Amino acid sequence: MRFDVFSLFPEVFQPYLEISILKRAILNGLIEVQTHNIRDWATDKHHTTDDTPYGGGGGMVMKPEPVFAAVESVLGAPPSCPVIMLSPQGELFNQSIARELAGYDHLALLCGRYEGFDERIREHLATRVISIGDYVLTGGELPALIVMDAVARLQQGVLGDREATDDDSFAQDGLLEYPQWTKPAVFRGWSVPDVMQQGNLGEQLKWKRQQSLLRTLKWRRDLLEKAKLGDMDREFLKKHLEESNPDKRE
């Protein structure tokens, strides 16, 4: 899979791409990442990529000319792959979108700065706008890295012996992942639960599922509304809620 990243600060990406899993994926030819400095396509002597907004307001806006020129020079006109604009105004990124994007063999990531992009870039160049959360950053580089990481790890072979599984958070029917432990069994008096130290796989699987349900209920109750729950899941949650709130039993 290939990623083409367009940014005013492409040097941000190299340190992350030169370590750990993504580094091995690149060396093994499983993914390819090309970064492009939008400023290289600015035509004036100062390589200007931003200007004041029409209608006033604070900050500067990224100009359309160098952005269109950069993307079309690399990807053609129209672009030969989806162009993902990173913006807090986009749809909220999640595991479902990551899986969808992982189905492409080529993606472009467009990173903004300042007050954002000229609207014509969104309307006529970007094919999708994605946000990583309801907050504002100084640029789109960190969101682009997050999208790239989430999508790349879903490619066959990227995780090596441990492929992305349905046990990962958000992949397990939309639930958070269950807690994990490793050796030693007792650390500073804190013990790994007995069920996880015993060899009864059926009981362990049941316990893991219940813990996923409880974690999601506690930290991301909103996910339960869309999660794929069975009758046993609903009965467990109902019983747990009744035991936790005895005064609210029906």
230, 138: one domain: no
Q: d(Cα 23, Cα 44) in Å, to the nearest integer?
A: 36
62, 111: one domain: yes
Residue 58 binned pLDDT confidence (cut-offs 50, 70, 90) = confident
Instruction: Give the CATH number of the domain where residue 12 resides.
Output: 3.40.1280.10
| Closest C-alpha among 65, 104, 69, 59 to residue 84 | 104
Q: For 8-35, how does the pLDDT look when each residue is reduced to its tens digit (9 = 90+)?
A: 999 999 999 999 999 999 999 999 999 9
Q: How confident is the model at residue 115, as a pLDDT?
A: 84
Q: For 61-87, how does the pLDDT look when each residue is reduced to its tens digit (9 = 90+)?
A: 999 999 999 999 999 999 999 999 999
| Domain-located, residue 170 | no
| Domain-located, residue 176 | no
Q: What share of the chain in percent tops pLDDT 90?
A: 86
| Domain-located, residue 210 | yes
| Domain-located, residue 199 | yes
11, 126: one domain: yes
Q: What share of the chain in percent tops pLDDT 70?
A: 94
pLDDT exceeds 90 at position 165: no
Q: How confident is the model at residue 43, as a pLDDT?
A: 92
Q: Which residues pair with 131 in a beta bridge?
A: 92
pLDDT exceeds 80 at position 161: no
- Which residue in the list 11, 163, 168, 242 is annotated as catalytic? 168
pLDDT exceeds 60 at position 225: yes
- Which residue in the list 153, 177, 209, 233 is annotated as catalytic? 153
Range of the domain at 35: 2-152
| Domain-located, residue 158 | no
Q: How confident is the model at residue 170, as a pLDDT?
A: 63
153 is catalytic: yes
71-76 — which CB contacts under 8 Å span 24+ positions?
Answer: 71/6, 71/108, 71/110, 71/125, 73/41, 74/4, 74/6, 74/34, 74/36, 74/108, 75/4, 75/108
pLDDT exceeds 80 at position 117: yes
Residue 246 binned pLDDT confidence (cut-offs 50, 70, 90) = confident
7, 100: one domain: yes
Q: How many domains does the chain have?
A: 2
Instruction: Give the CATH number of the domain where residue 218 resides.
Output: 1.10.1270.20
Q: Which of 110, 134, 152 is the last residue of a domain?
A: 152
- Which residue in the list 115, 149, 215, 220 is annotated as catalytic? 115
Q: Which of 152, 177, 199 is the last residue of a domain?
A: 152
**Max Cα–Cα distance, the chain, nearest Å:** 74
- Which residue in the list 10, 64, 66, 88 is annotated as catalytic? 88
23, 86: one domain: yes
Q: d(Cα 95, Cα 110) in Å, to the nearest integer?
A: 20
| Domain-located, residue 138 | yes
Q: Which of 152, 171, 205 is the last residue of a domain?
A: 152
For all residues of the chain together, what is the average pLDDT? 92
pLDDT exceeds 70 at position 249: no
| Burial class (CB within 10 angstroms; exposed 0-12, middle 13-18, buried 19+) of 125 | buried
133, 47: one domain: yes
pLDDT exceeds 60 at position 164: no
132, 207: one domain: no
Cβ count within 10 A of residue 249: 9
> Which range, of 70-74, 76-80, 100-104, 134-138, averages the lowest pLDDT?
134-138
Q: What is the mean pLDDT of residues 201-209?
A: 95
40, 146: one domain: yes
| Domain-located, residue 36 | yes
- Label residues 126-162 b or e (16+ Cβ within 10 Å = b): beebbbbeeeeeebbbebbbbbbebbbbbbeebbeee
Q: How confident is the model at residue 76, as a pLDDT?
A: 98
Contacts of 218 (CB under 8 A, 6+ apart): none
Give me 167's structure tokens. Answer: 């046990």
Q: d(Cα 82, Cα 90) in Å, to the nearest integer?
A: 15
37, 116: one domain: yes
34, 98: one domain: yes
88 is catalytic: yes
Q: How confident is the model at residue 203, as a pLDDT?
A: 95
Q: How confident is the model at residue 233, as a pLDDT?
A: 96
11, 130: one domain: yes
15, 117: one domain: yes
Q: What is the mean pLDDT of residues 217-223?
A: 93
| Domain-located, residue 172 | no
Single pTM value for the model: 0.85
Q: CA dist 19 to 31, 32, 153, Å?
A: 14, 14, 14
